[in-house]
C-alpha cells in the first residue's frame, strides 16, 4: 500500500547505502516457517517473515459446497486472506474489504495452478490465511506458507509455490520491501513462481518500473526464491522427521 506524495520526504537509505533496517538492497528479511501447528486443520503452517506473522490452515479436499460450485472435472482452491484487526498500527476494520478480496483471488489462482486439482472432481480445498501481524509483503508470505500447509496436508501438488517482492526505493531496486519502503517507495512488485518449472503464478505491480528496473527486480526475486524454497522444504522435512519419531522409527 503506497502512500502518495511522501516519497521524497523520507530518507530510506543511510550514508553507506544500507536500508533503515541495516539490509543491503539484495537482502531478505529473516524467514521462519513451522508446519502442523493446528490440530484440527488437515494441514497448517505458521510463517514469520520480518515483522509479518501469518497463520495458515488447510481443510480438504472435501465435497464442494454449495453444490452449484462443484466442477465435475476438478477441485477448486478457495483461499481466504484476512487481516486481524490488531495486525496493523491503527485498528483495521474487521471483515472482508476490496483489498482482502483481491488478495484472496490472486492467491487462490496461484495455488490452483500448483495443486493437482484434476484428481479431485467436485471437491474444494479451503486455505485460510490469517494475518496476525502485518509488515508489508503479506500476500507473498501468506502464499508461501499456504503452499507449505497444503503439502503438510498431503494434498498432491505439481510443485510448491514460492514468492518474494522487490520494488523501487529512492530510485534504487531493492528486494523484499519493509513496511516503510512499501509505503514511501516508488514501486512494489510481488511475484510467485513454481520453483521446479519457473512458471509464474502471481505477478502484480504497484507503481512504475522501467524495463531495466523490472528485469533487475525479477532476477533478484528469482534468486531469492531459491533460498525461500529451501526454507519451505526444511520446514516440511522437519515435520516428517517428527512424524517418523512419533511412529517410533
Shortest Å distance, C-beta 91 to ligand ADP: 9
Q: Does 1 bind ligand ADP (CB under 6 A)?
A: yes
Shortest Å distance, C-beta 103 to ligand ADP: 7
Q: Tell me the window of 63-71, 156-164, 182-190, 233-241 that interacts with ligand ADP (CB under 6 A).
A: 182-190
Task: Pick between residue 52 and residue 239 the one whose CB is nearest to ligand ADP.
Answer: 52
Q: Binding marks (x or -) toward ligand ADP, 132..171, rule CB under 6 A?
A: --xxxxxx--------------------------------
Task: Pick between residue 19 and residue 179 the one whose CB is nearest to ligand ADP.
Answer: 179
Shortest Å distance, C-beta 141 to ligand ADP: 8
Query: Which of 247, 237, 249, 248 is closest to 36 using CA atoms?
Result: 237
Query: What is the C-alpha separation between 122 and 162, in angstroms, rounded?
Result: 27
Query: What is the C-alpha separation between 27 and 173, in angstroms, rounded?
Result: 11
Task: Pick between residue 103 and residue 160 the one whose CB is nearest to ligand ADP.
Answer: 103
Other CB atoms within 10 Å distance of the CB of residue 18: 13
**SS3 (DSSP) at 82:** strand
Q: Binding marks (x or -) toward ligand ADP, 70..99, rule CB under 6 A?
A: ------------------x-x-x------x
**SS3 (DSSP) at 24:** coil
Task: Pick between residue 48 and residue 135 the one whose CB is nearest to ligand ADP.
Answer: 135
Shortest Å distance, C-beta 85 to ligand ADP: 10
Task: Pick between residue 23 and residue 238 the one whose CB is nearest to ligand ADP.
Answer: 23
Strands (E), the chain: 31-35, 43-49, 52-63, 76-83, 123-133, 162-169, 172-175, 187-194, 199-203, 206-207
Number of residues that bind ligand ADP (CB under 6 A): 15
Contact residues for 200 (Cβ-Cβ < 8 A; gap 6+): 191, 192, 193
Other CB atoms within 10 Å distance of the CB of residue 222: 16
Shortest Å distance, C-beta 3 to ligand ADP: 9
Place of cell 528479511: 29
Q: Binding marks (x or -) toward ligand ADP, 94..113, rule CB under 6 A?
A: -----x--------------
Place of cell 501469518: 54
Distances (CA, A) of 223 to 4, 31, 141, 200: 30, 15, 16, 14
Query: What is the C-alpha separation between 48 and 239, in angstroms, rounded?
Result: 17
Write out the residues near ligand ADP by the rule CB under 6 A.
Answer: 1, 88, 90, 92, 99, 134-139, 179, 182, 188, 190
Amino acid at each position: 500500500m503506497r502512500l502518495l506524495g511522501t516519497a521524497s520526504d523520507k530518507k530510506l537509505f543511510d550514508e553507506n547505502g544500507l536500508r533503515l533496517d541495516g539490509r543491503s538492497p539484495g537482502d531478505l528479511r529473516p524467514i521462519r516457517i513451522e508446519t502442523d501447528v493446528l490440530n484440527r486443520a488437515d494441514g497448517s503452517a505458521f510463517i514469520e517473515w520480518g515483522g509479518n506473522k501469518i497463520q495458515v490452515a488447510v481443510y480438504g479436499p472435501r465435497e464442494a459446497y454449495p453444490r452449484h460450485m462443484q466442477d465435475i472435472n476438478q477441485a477448486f482452491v478457495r483461499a481466504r486472506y484476512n487481516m486481524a484487526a490488531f495486525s496493523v498500527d491503527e485498528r483495521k476494520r474487521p471483515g472482508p474489504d476490496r483489498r482482502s478480496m483481491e488478495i484472496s483471488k490472486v492467491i487462490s489462482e496461484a495455488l490452483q495452478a500448483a495443486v493437482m486439482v484434476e484428481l479431485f472432481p467436485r471437491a474444494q480445498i479451503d486455505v485460510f490465511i490469517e494475518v496476525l501481524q502485518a509488515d508489508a509483503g503479506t500476500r507473498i508470505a501468506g502464499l508461501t506458507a499456504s503452499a507449505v500447509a497444503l503439502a503438510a496436508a498431503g494434498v498432491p501438488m505439481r510443485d510448491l509455490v514460492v514468492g518474494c517482492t522487490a520494488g523501487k526505493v529512492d530510485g534504487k531496486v531493492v528486494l523484499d520491501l519493509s513496511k516503510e519502503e512499501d509505503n514511501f517507495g516508488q514501486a512494489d512488485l510481488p511475484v510467485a513462481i513454481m520453483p521446479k518449472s519457473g512458471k509464474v503464478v502471481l505477478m502484480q505491480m504497484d507503481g512504475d518500473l522501467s524495463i531495466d528496473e523490472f528485469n533487475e527486480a525479477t532476477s533478484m526475486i528469482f534468486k531469492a526464491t531459491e533460498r525461500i524454497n529451501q526454507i519451505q522444504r526444511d520446514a516440511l522435512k522437519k515435520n516428517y522427521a517428527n512424524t517418523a519419531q512419533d511412529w517410533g522409527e
